[in-house]
Every structure is written in structure tokens, then in C-alpha cells.
């Protein structure tokens, strides 16, 4: 299957030169997602737990837009600004992937855009 850039009402293109959802060869790649509510800018209030929950809800919204869900995620990469918040982030993450979670890497970073605490990119399999 050739590369397909997905678009639609639940896949909003931003002002930057990247696609939110791209599919190729049976895999669906999501651009990095952060903990902002749709239509807002900046992190949701409530700390790392609230940001992580909103971030993973944003992932779910994009996956549903292409007929998939969290169970189809095969690889996740998390960018975490403060590793002291790892266990609280991980507790929320576990709610979204309670069984057979995807492979994952968690990378410590010094900064994320707009003062976010956490960002995730995922690959799902169709």
C-alpha cells in the first residue's frame, strides 16, 4: 500500500509542515501527541496525570478516525520532561493499555513545546 496521509474532521492539520496520521504498508503512524484539549492551546491543567490522560485520549481520537483503537498500537515512544513523574505518568498509561501493551521507549528530554510535560508518538498496525 502506498503512503496515505489521512485527513478528516477528527484529524486536524496544524500550522507546521507535518501530517497528523500517515499510513503505509499496514502501519499507521501518529505524529507526536501532547496533553491539550482539542481546540485549545497549551497543556490541560492538573499536572502530569491530566496531561497524560488527555494525551492518550488524543491518540485514541486519531486512531478511531482511521478505524483503529489503542489495542492496535504496537510501538510507543514517550518523551518525558521530568523522570520524577515517571510512575504517575505510567499509572495513567497503564489504564489505556491494561493488557498486551505495545513495546515502548521512554526518553527523558529537557524541554517540550509550549511547556508540556509529556509527549507520545505511536505506531499502530492495521
pLDDT score for 7: 86
Compute the distance between CA of residue 103 and CA of residue 97 in angstroms, rounded to an integer: 11
Number of domains forming the structure of the chain: 1
CA distances from 30 to 21, 68, 84, 85, 115 (A): 5, 12, 26, 24, 21
Closest alpha carbon to 41 in 12, 65, 68 = 12
Q: What is the CATH number of the domain that holds 24?
A: 3.30.1330.40
Closest alpha carbon to 59 in 49, 74, 69 = 69
For the whole prediction, is pTM greater than 0.85?
Answer: yes
pLDDT in tens, 4-54: 989 877 777 776 678 899 999 999 999 999 999 877 888 999 999 999 999
* H helix runs in 9-119, sequence order: 47-65, 86-96
Its domain, for residue 93, covers 4-125
Is residue 23 a contact partner of residue 6, using CB atoms and an 8 Å limit?
yes
pLDDT in tens, 92-105: 999 999 999 999 99
pLDDT category of residue 125 using cuts at 50, 70 and 90: very high
Amino acid at each position: 500500500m502506498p503512503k496515505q496521509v489521512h485527513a478528516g474532521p477528527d484529524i486536524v492539520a496544524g500550522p507546521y509542515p507535518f501530517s497528523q496520521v500517515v499510513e503505509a504498508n499496514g502501519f499507521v503512524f501518529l505524529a507526536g501527541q501532547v496533553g491539550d484539549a482539542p481546540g485549545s492551546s497549551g497543556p490541560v491543567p492538573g499536572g502530569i496525570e491530566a496531561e497524560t490522560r488527555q494525551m492518550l485520549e488524543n491518540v485514541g481520537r486519531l486512531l478511531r478516525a482511521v478505524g483503529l483503537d489503542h489495542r492496535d498500537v504496537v510501538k510507543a515512544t514517550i518523551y518525558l520532561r521530568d523522570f520524577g513523574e515517571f510512575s504517575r505518568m505510567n499509572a495513567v498509561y497503564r489504564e489505556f493499555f491494561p493488557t498486551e501493551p505495545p513495546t515502548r521507549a521512554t526518553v527523558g528530554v529537557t524541554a517540550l513545546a509550549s511547556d508540556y510535560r509529556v509527549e507520545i508518538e505511536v505506531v499502530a498496525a492495521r
